[in-house]
Structure 1
Amino acid sequence: MPEYIEFPQENIDKALALARSPFEGVDLQSADMLTPEAVAQAGPAAVSAGCVALRSEGKKVCLKVPFAGNICVPVDLPDGTFAEACVDICTRFGVPTGACVVVRAAGKQVWRQCFGWC
Structure 2
Amino acid sequence: MAMHSFSEEKAQAVLDTFKAHHEMLTARAKSMNGVDLAASGELTVRAECISVAVENGQICLQLPLGFGSICLPIPTPFPDGTAAQACLDICTPYWVPTGVKITISIAGHVVLTKVVGKC
TM > 0.5 fold call: yes
Structure 1 residues 48 and 55: CA distance shift in structure 2, 3 A: same
What residue number does 1:40 align with?
38
Q: Deviations over 1:28-79 (max 9, x none)?
A: xxxx5x9331x43142110110101011011100001234211000002110
Amino acid at match of 1:9: E
CA shift, 1:3, in A, is 2.2
What residue number does 1:23 align with?
22
Give distance in 1, aligned partners of 2:18 and 2:24: 14
Q: Which moved more, 1:45-54 or 1:67-76?
A: 67-76
CA shift, 1:25, in A, is 8.1
What residue number does 2:8 align with?
9
Structure 1 residues 63 and 41: CA distance shift in structure 2, 3 A: same
Give distance in 2, aligned partners of 1:61 and 1:68: 16
- The structure whose residues are more often strand, as a share, is 1
Structure 1 residues 40 and 7: CA distance shift in structure 2, 3 A: same
CA shift, 1:115, in A, is 1.1
What residue number does 1:59 align with?
57
Amino acid at match of 2:17: L
The DSSP-based 3-state class of the residue aligned with 1:10 is helix
The DSSP-based 3-state class of the residue aligned with 1:36 is coil
Give ranges in structure 1 of 5+ residues lacking alignment: none
Give ranges in structure 2 of 5+ residues lacking alignment: none
1:26-105, aligned counterparts within 5 Å? 35-37=34-36, 39-66=37-64, 67-76=66-75, 77-105=78-106
* Same amino acid, percent of matched pairs: 33
CA shift, 1:112, in A, is 0.3
Amino acid at match of 1:69: G
The DSSP-based 3-state class of the residue aligned with 1:93 is coil
